[in-house]
Structures are given as C-alpha cells and as structure tokens.
A and B are shown apart, each in its own frame.
Chain A
C-alpha cells in the first residue's frame, strides 16, 4: 500500500483550490523554493495520518486554517488521501470501483465551529471510501506506520538511551515474542546477581537500605535493590545505546602484543587492513571478522583496544543523522503482520551531509525499497544533489504564481519518454538548482550564459538578488523543459520563466531569404543585410513560441543571433571589433577595415555576425571580453562617472531580464 495522491485545501499557505501532489512507490521528493509550503505538505500528511489514531505527535490547530491575503481565515481545511495497492480487507478505505481495483481513499476535514460559549473550536471529521459519515477507525490506521524525521531533528537525543529512543523501538520490533524477552531479562538478572556477589556492591546496597529504614522507621518497610538496570525488558530497551567503533586500532611498539602483531603484519603484507609505521602496527577493526590464523592473544588485545570507544556525542552531526535514519529504516523493514504501509517522511535528509554522502543516502533510501519492504519515502529537499538523483516522475515541485501556491507533479507533466530520458541525464546538480529558484532563464549557449548576468546587473536587476537561475541548455533543445513545466492540471508553472533564443532567420534553403552557410565576413553585401531585415523567424523558433505561449513561458528572441542583435548599434560594434582584435591579431584588423568601409549599420552588423559565425570557437572569449566592458561601465555608472560610449543592451534582453525579475 502506498499514497498515490494527496489534495490539501485551506491549510496554512494553501488556499481553497489547494494543491494536489502525486506520489509513487519508493522514494519521492518534494522540492521548491523556501517558504513554498514544503513543510506544510509534510505536516498535512502527518495530520492526515494521525487524526484518527490514538497516538498523535501533531495536532491541527486554529492557526492552521489558511489565511487569505485579505486577512480572512478559511472556515475549513481538508485533506484527501488516495492510496494504491490497498488490501481489500481494509474495507473502510478500499474503493470497489477504482481503476486498478486496489485503490483506496480517506478524507480528513477540519471545520471551524463556534461553541455555545462563543469560543472557536476545531471540529475534526473523517471518513473512508464513499461519503461523509462512513466510518474510519483507528484500527484501519494500524495498517499504516508513519514515521517523521523533522528538519530540526536532534539525532543525538533521539538516539540517547530513553524509553522511546529509536534503538529501543528497534529492539522491541526485533524481539516481539515474550520468550526471547524473558531470556534477555534473565541474562540481565544473572548479571545483576554476579555484580551483587561483589562485596562492595552488597555494601552499597546495605548502606542505602540501612539509611532508608532509619529515616522511615519501619513505617513503610520498603527495600531497594541495586543493579545495572531493573530487570525488565522495557528497561533493557530503554538503556540501549549506540556508539561508533574506531576504524583503526594501533598496537604500539610498547604494547605487550607488539611482536605478535608485527609478525602477523609481515606475514600478510598485501592485506590492506594492516599498516605499519614507526608508532606500531595499525589494524582495521573489521579485520577481526575474518581471521583464523591470528593468535588468540592478539585478537583479544585488538578487541580490548577497540572497545575503548566513542560515545555518540563524539560523532559529527551528519554521522548521527545517518545512524538515526538507519535505525528508523531498520525498524520499518521488520515485518509486522498488521502493517501494510510504512511511510517515512524526512525533511531535508541532506542536513549536515556533504554532497557525496547525500548521494549515498539517496542510494540507501532507494535500496531500502528493493525486495518486499513496503516503505514509501517522501522527503522535502533543498538539495540539488538529491533532486537530481530522484526519478523525474517522483518529484513534486511546489511554486507560487500570482499569489497562489501550486504543485506540479512531474509525473503529470506532458513529458514524452524521450523527454524524460533527456532530462534524467541532463538534470545534473547545477541544473537542478532551477527547482529552487524564483525565476529561470534558459539560454542556448555560452555567450548568453556569460553576458546575461552582467546585463542584469547593469539593469540593476542582479540575478542572484532575485533568486533567478540561469540554465544553459547548450543547444536549442528547450522542449523537454517546456514540457516539464506544463501539464493538464497546471497551466502556468513559473510565470517567471524566460527562454532567450536566436530567431535564426534566413536559414532555410528553400526560402528566398536564405543566406549561404559558407559566406564569411568579406562576403557581406547589401543583399545579405536586406535579407536579414526582411527575414522571418525560423520554424523551430516559431514552434517554440507556440508551445511556450500555451504554458505561459515567455520567449525572447534575438534578431538572427545574439551577436547580430548586439552589433546593430554603433557603440556596441566597436566593442565587438575590439574583442575580436584581441583574439585574432591579423584577421581582427582586417575585419575592422571591412566594417569601417561599410556605411549601413545593418550591413556592418551582418559583417561582424558573419565573422563570428565562421569562427564559432571564439564566441566564449568574445563574450568574456564584452562582459568585462559591461562590468566596467556598470562600476563607472555606480561611481557616477561619465561613460563615453555606453554599451547598449538590446530590448529583447532587457525584457528577458525584467520578465524574470519582476517583483
């Protein structure tokens, strides 16, 4: 059994239209910028699954009703949960007419009611399949085990010995039968007995009891016993603690077993679990798992040294986090007959973990689901590392548009299989950052990628400040991204998404405006510039515009190309020639001469464009050069200095920047 779909209405940041998230078996991620409502989703799931149960660690309160921008609070909140692979014996939630035959659902609704004394109260209602009024009992929820690891989890204290520590819970799950429990208690009893055979301990006990009877004067006539812990199973569970064994153990030169250690080391020179230096012999503790030829004394000594171990608090935060997760998942993986669904909710599993460990955590979480363990994991994350690892269909993106929160489950995006494959490959750590941005600019190449951040600065709209992510698609393959942000249920995912592309006019051979591909700068003539003026955007560009318009993504296109568009200005063209000259010491001046001989502005621009087109590799360097110019001018402007020849930003780029940085 697992959660397939969840609709949340009027809960905290989500309004009456609410949001709908889609989940799959296995590992699911909820991503989105800060304050987008990820934690609210987590709490909604927790509330939904604990409203009917006796044990609750979260409650719905009056403050949880959505408050609209007009300050009015909603008078109800609702959670609709849809499940799949529901065993039909769970008749309260199983749906007899679901598509799969194994669907199920339940519904939780909170209403604001005014009691007779005028005080506001929250009334909880819940029902299973069918309509309001159909019973939903806590027994059904015995089949569902929900565990939550919050963002501010204190792994250290959760792992500390306590009645409800994670270790205690795990032990209770591992040892459910009373016989084994009794055995454990017996062992402890014996240990206590052995201890008390020591005269000192007996004496300690006697002192206490003597004093006690002195105080109470035989009034209560009670006696105390002392020992390690009271011999009860719960106490054993509560006293469990975990610590990390040292990885390496040193048998030092002064150690009594040193000679044996050295001999063993020399016999096993190729064993990488043994190292020697002037301090002595180092053994990796795991070596003890498989040593038949090692002398007993040496084994004992290594064990002895290893047992002087670390306490949990001596571990790093990140490591404790891992320990904590493994204890929880270990507990979940133990089969309990009445439980059909394990759900682990983790807020920011990346907390305190470096990126490589994050990848390992993801791999671990995914592996946990192999086999029969029916564990569904839902995590919220700000980690591009994790986001880039999860299956694209298992991601829910939460975002805001026009004062409303939306959720885009990527499983619902209009992605083709080819799109999915492309994105899965393409969405690396850097590009996954766009999911956490407030705005995105997609560009097709290195030049735009270099220039746009500078242009944004000179427009006083620095991209960082507006949390805009610039994604270089490095081709014109924008369509997987357009599809990613479009679905039936979501019309506008990000209004602040812009695509900056070239209109690539005059490239179709069959058209009259076609400009020969082999032309270089000195082939420039008025025919070419006329064609550029009268040409129409390429089919590719038109199609992109059409598909983007449907989903509200704005496309900003350069007349012909970025370079051409930039060069259509007397000031800019000079900077471009300077840039080209710095790269091409001979051809540069030749180009300059050619350009100076031309009179028509468009012809000049065409000339520079033809030069760069024929020498594609220089694009990056030229862009670097130009970007420095822009940066310098930007600084000068800040200082209030006069700029002689101001670099002019073409309108389409201005608009692109304004579009994604609108407040």
Chain B
C-alpha cells in the first residue's frame, strides 16, 4: 500500500460528521476506498454496513474496482455493505421500498422520466401551452419547502377563479393519483416520506451506520436534505467527500452550495486533502487561479512522480490555424517530452460535442428512434448493458405501451409474450443492426426494414394503426447543416473517442488522469468557453469549473489553445510566470 499523507490519515481516522475537501489529484477514490476497507477489515456488525455512494455508475464502479484491488479480491464488499449511486440508494432504500406509504393507492410508486401518460385534462391555459409547461410536466414538483417548482424556479402564475390550484398543479395531482412520480422529484418525495415517518430514517441509519458520499459537491439541495435527515436520525458517521471547484453537474440540479455550507458549519469537521499526486507543481500553480475556493490560499502541493516536471503549462495562441495544425503542434510537443501518444496518456478536450457538425435541432422525430439509435451506438462502442436497456425500453414503447418501472414492465411483457422470447427478439434486433458508420438517413431506413423483419420472424403484433415507418423518422432538412443526413450515426453520439489519442468532452474525462492534455478553445464568442471568459470570467461560474476540471487532468503537460487576444499577458490568470506563451 502506498504511504498515506498526514491529511489522508486524518480522514482515515475521522468519525462523526465529516466533510472532506479533496483537491484534484489528491487520490480521492483511493482515500475513499482505503477508508471503506478500514471499516471492512474489522467489521463486526451483522446486517449493518457501510454505504459508499457516488453520482454515476462509472464512479461507483471505480470505487468498487479500487477497493477490490486493494482488498486483493476478497469478497467483503457485498452485503451488508452497499456501493452504488445516490439515486439508486434513495430509490432502493427509501422511495421504492417505503413509497407505498405515501402514494394514493398505497402501492409502489411508479418512477418515470417523463409524462408518458398524457392524461386527458382540459383546463390548460393558453400560456401553459405557450410556455411549454404542458409538454414538460416532469419538470414540475413540490420542493422540500412545500413550494411548487418548475425545474429550479418557483412557479409564480396566478390562481384564477375559485380554483385553489394552478392547472399544472391540478395535472400533477392527477398524476399523483395514479401513483406516478418523476425521477427529478424522487429526492423531495423521499424527504417528505422521511419527515412523515422518522422511523424509516432511523431504520436506514441502523442498516447503514456509516455513509460515505463521494463527489458530494454534485448533490442537489433536495438530496442533501435527505442525507441531513439521515444524519440527524443518529448516524454513526457521515462523510461528504468532494471538491466544490469540480461541480459541473448543475444541469442535473447539483448544487455545490450545499457542500460549501457544510465546510463552514460548526457541527461538521472539515478535512482538506491538498496534496496533489497527479500534476506537476507548475500545473498546480497555474490552475489554482481558476479555482474559486483557493483564492487567497496557498496553491496545492505537488506530491506525485512528476511534481518536478520543468515544462510550464503552454498557452498556445492561434491565428486562423486549422484544428489539425493545433493538434499536430500538441502531439509534437508530447513527443519532445517523451510522452507516448496513446489514448490513456494523451487527450484533446473540447467543451460539448466532439463532432461539432452534429448539433441538429429536433433531429429525432420520436423518442423510440432516438433510443434505438443510442442503443445501436452503445452496442458497438459503449456499454452493452445500457444498449440492452435502451432497446428494451424502445421496443416496450413500440409494442406494449408507456414505460414504467422495471418490475411492472417485466410483468406486462409476460402478459404480452414470454420473457425469453422478448429477450430473443431484442438480441435479434441487435444482431442485425446496420453499421453505425453509415450515414444517419441510410441507417434509419435499413433499421426500419430490419425491425419489421424481426417482428415478423418473432410473430410479434404491433398495435393496429401504428406503422414502424412512422415511428422511425428523423428530420428531413436542416438549414444550418444541409449535409447532416450523410454524417455517420456514430458521430451523433460520440462524446469520447479513443483512437491514437483520446478525444472527449470535458465532462467525459472527469476523474481521469492523462500525461498531456490539450484544451481546445475554438471561438472567441458565444456562451461557452472563450478566451475572454477564461481571462476574466466569474470564478463562481459553472463554466469556469468545467475549465478547471479540464486543466487539472494532466500530469506533465497542459496546453490551452485559443485564438489570440490583445493584452492577454496583463491578466493575472495567464501570467508569464505561470505560462509559456507560444504563437502558432
């Protein structure tokens, strides 16, 4: 085992309510895994365990893998312990299990992603339709403060007539009478449930006396409220591990403020992991100026193998150069530093899509075709599990009806056919899928033929009046990119490609490490990463945190490429002390 720093040791020994601020490269996953194992090695409780929660399946698998390796493969990680995502924890242990206490018919709640039911309701107002509320009912929910929200905004429309409820609220009540809740209100539902039945919180902390939440900066306010209730229910230890500077999931309702408040709260003990095992001291120094929380503080100390790397971060100023020229410069620089050009060593990062020409608005004409296209991509390039699940959902929608939770869906499938037949059918579709390198229009037409054939072969009936050709439809023309139909299907989904080197969006490399990273800022304008934003943008802005995440990935070489702009050297963030200037 590697030797632990003093900071890491204090985390290892801590108990109670603990907040751990972990800077980039501080060995967070390693520390969490070590902490978990420190419990497991001497665990003497039965039917009680440690829960380690992250925000994505990938992250929780990472922890599992790390703990498994450190543990030399002994199967201690199973029951009574739990390694999973925050969402699955709240779903499994609170909402699905005890939700029946609060649903209208006292049944298991149906958790849905969107309104598949479209209940008949005739009291919508004009503005409800105009503002898109009618089609986005899944964005509405009652928050933990009992206010009614659309996304993060409190709904402020006025009541009319005698009605005590707004149309959206009435519609929501209708859904609740059908025991439907949406994924984005699961946390507030869980919160209300625990408030009403405090014994459930007691039971959960009895079951999990220790909870460790990784990437805790990504918790939403409502999720944090749920964990606060658990903490208050007498948990032995609650650990929130994260870095507010790396909160880049606001679109998923993450609110780093919850995490920051706890750093300052007296009832929480704060531990900081400031040693950076990843990057060189030069990179630590240069990137610290892009972090909101490190202003006025000492920069993180480089502790890793490359802490003494002499190469400063490179600011590559372009002047009408092509993408290829920029990348070639970067790769050449890597070679000069003896960095092998391999996908796990070298990465080129952009904000958003890596194929910028594939941003076609309203491309998919149905949810079903989008799901199948995604499934096809995942089948070839990603997770087959995800692929299966998407294909399953899409086919369910086509043949049976609105998708609900897994349990009910499999019940309905049994009514429709046999579960084995259903699986065979889906596998048949996968086996015949057209090549994802085909242009998207051609791909869809081949898919349509295939799907109809496979239906016939399996003797599956489709509801009368519905035709597969109507469901499998994409946009006919697009002004901004008339050639979009010829772009390979693959390009529409690729967020990360691992060829000679990795090409990815910044979100796609969160938590990863490379020897060399190029951050490619293409344009001077727009509501995205621009030179101006990097130079003087608000550090509290999420976009800045996205930049920070990107810049803290490399061990040895950080290159930021952007169009040349005047007076750049005068900005503290790109001082010549920290950056080597190159004009291409």
Binding site for B on A (CB under 8 A): 87-92, 94, 96-97, 101, 113, 115-116, 128-135, 137, 139-140, 142-143, 337-338, 340
Smallest distance from the beta carbon of A340 to chain B beta carbons, Å?
Answer: 8
* In contact, A96 and B96 (Cβ under 8 angstroms): no
Interchain CB contact (< 8 A) of B206 among A88, A130, A140, A337: A88
The answer to whether B79 touches A131 (Cβ under 8 A) is: no
B229 CB to nearest A CB, Å: 14
Question: Which of A131, A135, A137, A338 has most chain B Cβ within 10 Å?
Answer: A131
Question: Is B203 touching A94 in the complex (CB atoms < 8 A)?
Answer: yes
Question: Is there an interface contact between A91 and B207, defined as CB atoms closer than 8 Å?
Answer: yes
Asked if B46 contacts A91 (CB within 8 A), the reply is no
Q: Is the CB of A89 within 8 A of B101?
A: no
**Residues 41-97 of B contacting A (Cβ, < 8 Å):** 44, 46-48, 79-80, 92-93, 96-97
Task: Please pick, from A97, A128, A133, A337, the residue contacting B405 in the complex, using a CB distance under 8 A.
Answer: A133
B92: chain A residues within 8 A (beta carbon): 135
Does A89 contact B96, Cβ atoms closer than 8 Å? no
* A88-B203 CB under 8 A given contacts A116-B421, A130-B100, A132-B108: yes
User: Are B199 and A132 closer than 8 Å at their CB atoms?
Assistant: no
Cβ–Cβ < 8 Å partners of B97 in chain A: 91-92, 128-130, 134-135
The residue among A88, A129, A132, A143 with the most chain B CB atoms within 10 A of its own CB is: A88
Q: Is the CB of B197 within 8 A of A97?
A: yes
* Most chain A beta carbons < 10 A, residue from B79, B108, B203: B203
- Nearest chain B CB to A387's CB is how many angstroms away? 37
Contacts A131-B100, A133-B96, A135-B92 given; indicate if A116 touches B418 (C-beta within 8 A). yes
- Residues of chain A contacted by B108 (CB below 8 angstroms): 130-134
In the complex, what residues of B have CB within 8 A of residue A137's CB? 79
Determine which of A101, A116, A139 lies in contact with B79 in the assembled complex, contact meaning CB atoms within 8 Å: A139
Question: Which residue of chain B lies nearest to A339 when distances are taken between CB atoms in the complex?
Answer: B46
A132 to B204: give the CA distance in the assembly, Å: 20
Evaluate contact between A133 and B79: CB separation under 8 angstroms.
no
- B417: chain A residues at CB < 8 Å are 116
Residues 160 to 180 of chain B near chain A (Cβ within 8 Å): none
Residues of B within 8 A of A97 (CB): 101, 197
B543 to chain A, nearest CB (A): 41
- A143-B79 Cα distance, complex, nearest whole Å: 13
Residues of chain A within 8 A of B206, CB atoms compared: 87-89
**Shortest distance between the CB of B333 and any CB in chain A (Å):** 53
Nearest-Cβ distance from residue A178 to partner chain B, whole angstroms: 15
Whether A91 lies near B203 (C-beta < 8 A) is yes
Decide if B128 is an interface residue (CB 8 Å cutoff). Answer: no
Query: What is the 8 Å Cβ interface bit string for chain B, positions 103-119, against chain A (1 contact, 0 not)?
Result: 00001100000000000
- B47 near A338 (CB under 8 angstroms)? yes
Interface flag for B377 (CB, 8 Å): no
The residue on A at minimum CB distance from B49 is A89
CB of B274 closer than 8 Å to a CB of A: no
Do B407 and A133 have beta carbons less than 8 Å apart? yes
Give the distance in Å from the alpha carbon of A570 to the alpha carbon of B197 in the complex. Answer: 79
> Chain B: interface residue count, which band?
20 to 34
Mind listing 17 A-B residue pairs with CB under 8 Å? A88-B207, A89-B48, A89-B207, A91-B97, A91-B207, A96-B197, A96-B199, A97-B101, A130-B99, A131-B108, A132-B407, A133-B405, A133-B407, A134-B96, A134-B108, A338-B47, A340-B47
- In the complex, what residue of chain A is closest to B44 when comparing beta carbons? A337
Q: Chain B: which residue is nearest A336 at the CB level?
A: B46
Shortest beta-carbon contacts, A-B, top 10: A133-B407, A338-B46, A139-B79, A88-B203, A131-B108, A116-B418, A337-B46, A89-B206, A130-B100, A89-B207
- Let me know if B202 is at the binding interface, CB within 8 A: yes
How many Å from the CB of A143 to the closest CB on chain B?
A: 6
The distance in angstroms between the C-alpha atoms of A139 and B78, with both chains bound, is 10
Given contacts A96-B101, A131-B108, A135-B92, are A87 and B47 in contact (CB under 8 A)?
A: yes
Question: Is B414 close to A, CB under 8 A?
Answer: yes
| Residues in B whose Cβ lies below 8 Å from that of A142 | 46-47
Contacts known (A89-B207, A115-B418); A101 close to B107, Cβ less than 8 A: no
Closest to B47 in A: A89
Which B residues lie within 8 Å of A88 (CB)? 199, 202-203, 206-207
Q: Complex: how many Å from CA A142 to CA B203? A: 18
Is B200 close to A, CB under 8 A? yes
A86 vs chain B, min Cβ distance (A): 10
**A131 and B107 contact, CB distance less than 8 A:** yes
User: CB of B98 within 8 A of chain A?
Assistant: yes
Quote the shortest CB–CB distance from A170 to chain B (angstroms).
Answer: 21
Picked from B44, B98, B414, the residue with its CB within 8 Å of the CB of A96 is B98
Cα distance, A133 to B47, chains bound together (Å): 21
Chain B residues within 8 Å of A143, by CB:
46-47
Q: Whole-angstrom distance between the alpha carbons of A101 and B418 in the complex?
A: 41
B199 touches A116 (CB 8 A): no
- Measured CB to CB, the nearest residue on chain A to B48 is A89
A434 CB → nearest B CB, Å: 43
Set of chain B residues within 8 Å of A140, measured between Cβ atoms:
47
Closest residue of chain A to B418, judged by CB?
A116
Q: How many angstroms between the C-alpha atoms of A132 and B106 in the bound complex?
A: 12
Q: For B96, give the chain A residue with the smallest CB separation.
A: A134
CA distance A134 to B100 in the complex (A): 10
B251 to chain A, nearest CB (A): 30
CB proximity of A232 to chain B, nearest CB, Å: 22
Which residues of chain B from 416 to 441 have a CB within 8 Å of any chain A CB?
A: 417-418, 420-421
B154 partner residues in chain A, CB cutoff 8 A: none
Do B47 and A90 have beta carbons less than 8 Å apart? Answer: yes
Whether a CB of chain A sits under 8 angstroms from the CB of B337 is no
Q: How far is the CA of A97 from the CA of B203 in the complex (A)?
A: 12
Cβ of B327 under 8 Å from chain A: no
* Distance from B102 Cβ to chain A, minimum over Cβ atoms (Å): 11
Q: How far is the CB of B208 from chain A (nearest CB, A)?
A: 9
Residue of B at shortest CB range from A338? B46
On chain A, the residues within 8 Å of B48 by CB distance are 89
Complex: chain B residue closest to A101, CB-CB: B199
**A217 CB, nearest partner CB in chain B, Å:** 41
Complex Cα spacing A135 to B418, Å: 22
For residue B381, CB closer than 8 A to chain A, the reply is no
B451 to chain A, nearest CB (A): 21
Q: Which of A96, A97, A115 has the most CB of B within 10 A?
A: A96
* Chain A residues closer than 8 Å to B47, beta-carbon distance: 87, 89-90, 139-140, 142-143, 338, 340
* A131-B108, A137-B79, A337-B46 given; 11 more Cβ-contact pairs under 8 Å: A89-B48, A89-B207, A96-B101, A116-B420, A128-B97, A130-B97, A130-B98, A131-B100, A134-B108, A135-B97, A143-B46
Contacts of B100 in A (CB 8 A): 130-131
Q: How far is the CA of A363 from the CA of B421 in the complex (A)?
A: 58
